[in-house]
Amino acid sequence: APQLIIYDLDGVITDTAEFHFLAWKKLAEELGITFDRQFNEQLKGISRMDSLDRILALGESAASLSAEEKLELATRKNGYYLELIEEINPGHILPGIEALLDDNKQAGIKIALGSASKNAPHILDKLELSDYFDYIVDAAQVTKGKPDPETFTNAADALGIAYENCIGIEDAAAGVDAINSAGMFSVAVGEQAHLGHAHYRVDHTQDLVFQDIIERFHNQPK
Ligand code: G6P
Ligand code: MG
């Protein structure tokens, strides 16, 4: 039976995935690099510096920049992002998520956060959701970001739970890869075109229903 559900933050619990996109887009435009939502799918779940590297590579300007210059750009993007999330409050929790967390807690199944974001603890506080979580993966202690499984295995290891008894919930292709390579059951929210490799996928967060997820977990082909 499942003993732990690990939630991604940006794009699953709240719509900060959109704010990351807007902040990167603003920075990229300042650099004369244009990208669209299709390209942005590749950035979801990817750390701040790795995201910057992908954008610079797209603009073919990666090689010309020093480490200091890159840090300045990443910090600038985070500044834009912080402006966008300033107003975040519990009203920004995506539909269905609070019911899901409530049902998860009532079932006695542990809850963890598996986010690559250094802003994650701050955002959870603003959403007033911190109390639900038994464990939060600290972006600083993860050396290999998604699609590496480390973000998810860290949470399971910290709580002493076997990977096969864990479920991960993601909106990013790289996140689903991470859950799958951890040997966990992957649940995705979003489009089939990006997330077809998940064990179970729904279109919208309100379709993330606790009983459905548990049923799918039990019916997965072994
Ligand atoms: C999450 C988001 C990414 C973001 C990363 C780092 O994984 O999905 O879009 O780049 O966190 O976030 P941070 O807040 O540390 O810049
Ligand atoms: Mg996400």
Determine whether 10 is an active site residue: yes
> What ligand 1 atom has the least distance to the C-alpha of 77?
16
**Percent with pLDDT over 70 in the chain:** 99
Q: How far is CA 170 from CA 25, 61, 184, 188, in A?
A: 22, 31, 12, 5
> Quick check: 205 pLDDT over 90?
yes
pLDDT for res 105: 98
CB 176 within 8 A of CB 191: no
Q: How far is the CA of 203 from the centre of ligand 1 (A)?
A: 22
**61 vs 205 pLDDT, higher one:** 205
Q: How far is the CA of 44 from the centre of ligand 2 (A)?
A: 6
CB 9 within 8 A of CB 129: no
Mean pLDDT along residues 67-89? 97
* pTM confidence score: 0.95
Mean pLDDT along residues 187-196? 97
For residue 29, what pLDDT band results from cuts at 50, 70 and 90? very high
Ligand nearest to the CA of 176: 2
Which two three-digit tokens encode residue 39?
Answer: 């390209």
> What ligand 1 atom has the least distance to the C-alpha of 145?
7
pLDDT for res 84: 96
Determine whether 103 is an active site residue: no
- Per residue in 129-188, pLDDT (tens digit) is 999 999 999 888 899 999 999 999 999 999 999 999 999 999 999 999 999 999 999 999
> 6, 46, 88, 152: which to mutate for ligand 1, most atoms within 8 A of CB?
46
Ligand nearest to the CA of 151: 1
Please state, rounded to an integer, the average pLDDT across all residues of the chain: 96
Q: How far is the CA of 60 from the centre of ligand 2 (A)?
A: 26
In the block, tokens 């064990």 appear at: 199
> Quick check: 61 pLDDT over 80?
no
- What are residue 149's phi and psi, to 5 degrees? -70, -10
For residue 66, what pLDDT band results from cuts at 50, 70 and 90? very high
Instruction: Give the Cα separation of 154 and 138 in Å (integer).
Output: 9
Rg over alpha carbons for the chain, rounded to the nearest Å, is 17
pLDDT for res 62: 67
Name the residue at shortest CA distance from atom 12 of ligand 1.
117
Coil, helix or strand for 135?
strand
Active site residue: 8, 138, 203, 212, which one? 8
> Quick check: 63 pLDDT over 80?
no
pLDDT for res 26: 97
pLDDT for res 148: 97
Q: What ipTM was assigned to the predicted interfaces of this complex?
A: 0.97
Ligand nearest to the CA of 175: 2
Q: Which helix (H) or strand (E) holds 222?
A: none
Name the residue at shortest CA distance from atom 16 of ligand 1.
48
> Quick check: 86 pLDDT over 70?
yes
**Ligand 1, CB cutoff 6 Å, lining residues:** 10, 17, 20, 43-48, 51, 78, 115-119, 139, 172
> Quick check: 37 pLDDT over 70?
yes
In the chain, what's the furthest Cα-to-Cα distance?
Answer: 53
